[in-house]
Structure formats: structure tokens, C-alpha cells
Structure 1
């Protein structure tokens, strides 16, 4: 443990980042289920398109 209480550690652009959990969870992202991005996610994970 490195004393990172209340932090989320991630990897972004070949760098480790430390983001406060409060900041990381203050807004939810939404994806349009009709978008090309979501269709690619479904294709990559093998999920049916009707979900």
C-alpha cells in the first residue's frame, strides 16, 4: 500500500495517473446505444445487438 487513500489509479497515455475518487465519480458518462462506438463494443464482446 502506498498511502493512496481516496484515490483511483489508472493508466492513461503511457502514464500512471492518480485521480481522487470524488472527482472520478461526480458525473456519469452516457453512451448512445445507436452509436457506432456501442456497436463496436457489442461486436468485440460478442453480445447480441438487441440488448
Structure 2
């Protein structure tokens, strides 16, 4: 069973990046939050493989 989500991250970004992320999310039928979380998880996994 996956850990329940209890932590929050808030950050500011450009309008262009938000719009690009929103378009990617819509293309994959995801929420913006879910898309960002998935991309962050992929980046962390990739970074761990390189280390």
C-alpha cells in the first residue's frame, strides 16, 4: 500500500510553464497536481539511478 499523502509543496512559476504543464496534464487526463507529482517522481528516480 502506498503511503498516504500528508505533505504539501507550494511554489511560484511562470505563466508559460504553468500553461505548458496544464496542457500536458490535459493530454494525459491528469490533474495539474498529479502531472507535477509524476514528473517530480520521474526526475528523482532518474537522479538516483545516476548516483
Q: With structure 2 as the length reference, what TM-score do the two structures score? A: 0.29
TM-score by length of 1: 0.29
Query: Which structure dedicates a bigger proportion of its chain to strand?
Result: 1
Instruction: Please tell me whether Structure 1 or Structure 2 has the larger radius of gyration of its CA atoms.
Output: 1
Structure number having the greater helix percentage: 2
